[in-house]
């Protein structure tokens, strides 16, 4: 038994040094070499700071609405709701979101609403939504901002990110970048 205790203590000490000191310090050092020193992709807009890769709450009718968040867009508590399709409370939340979209976007049919506009992502912080989620909101935004729909559709096309290598994942749009571009379009 004694011959196993000393190697176990040595291994524990080695793991503590490697995993609690060397690894975190090396990751921190690498982050300092990146833009923004590892603080993420930061966007400044209208004297506010936003993180590009964290979902933001947009609920005003003049903006493209974000994907719902199960954690109220709080990056400190990233998580899904863990409520399934048989949970009555969850179904009521989704139905309320559908009703709001139908009320605020006349002419849209229930079947046209993409799932990403009424359900939260697994992290609750997805900054992107589908092209369809943007397109069903164009009429509402064009009317409120008094902008031609074709100009808004052009902004959507400019901000659509293609799948990785043209193969992996769907087309997507960063909602924050899209809404900033919308503000710039309105300012012209």
The Cα–Cα gap between 175 and 49 comes to 15
Structural domain spans, the chain: 40-187
**C-alpha angle with apex 107: 102 to 109, nearest 5 degrees?**
60
CB atoms inside a 10 Å sphere around CB 135: 17
Q: Tens digit of pLDDT for each residue in 155-181?
A: 999 999 998 877 888 899 999 999 999
Q: Tens digit of pLDDT for each residue in 95-138?
A: 999 999 999 998 899 999 999 999 888 787 889 999 999 999 99
- Helix, strand or coil for residue 109? coil
Question: b/e map of 169-180 (b: 16 or more CB within 10 Å)?
Answer: eeebbbbbbbbb
């Amino acid at each position: 038994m004694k011959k196993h205790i000393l190697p176990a203590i040595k291994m524990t000490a080695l793991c503590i040094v490697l995993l609690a000191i060397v690894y975190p310090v090396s990751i921190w050092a690498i982050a300092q070499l990146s833009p923004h020193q590892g603080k993420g992709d930061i966007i400044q807009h209208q004297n506010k700071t936003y993180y590009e890769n964290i979902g933001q709450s947009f609920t005003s009718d003049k903006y493209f609405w974000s994907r719902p968040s199960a954690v109220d867009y709080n990056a400190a508590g990233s998580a899904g709701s863990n409520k399934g399709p048989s949970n009555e409370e969850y179904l009521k939340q989704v139905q309320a979101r559908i009703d709001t979209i139908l009320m605020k976007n006349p002419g849209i049919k229930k079947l046209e609403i993409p799932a990403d506009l009424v359900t939260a992502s697994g992290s609750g912080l997805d900054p992107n939504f589908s092209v369809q989620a943007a397109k069903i909101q164009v009429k509402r935004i064009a009317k409120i901002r008094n902008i031609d729909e074709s100009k808004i559709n052009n902004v959507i096309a400019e901000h659509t990110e293609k799948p990785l290598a043209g193969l992996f994942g769907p087309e997507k749009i960063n909602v924050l970048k899209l809404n900033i571009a919308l503000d710039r379009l309105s300012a012209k």
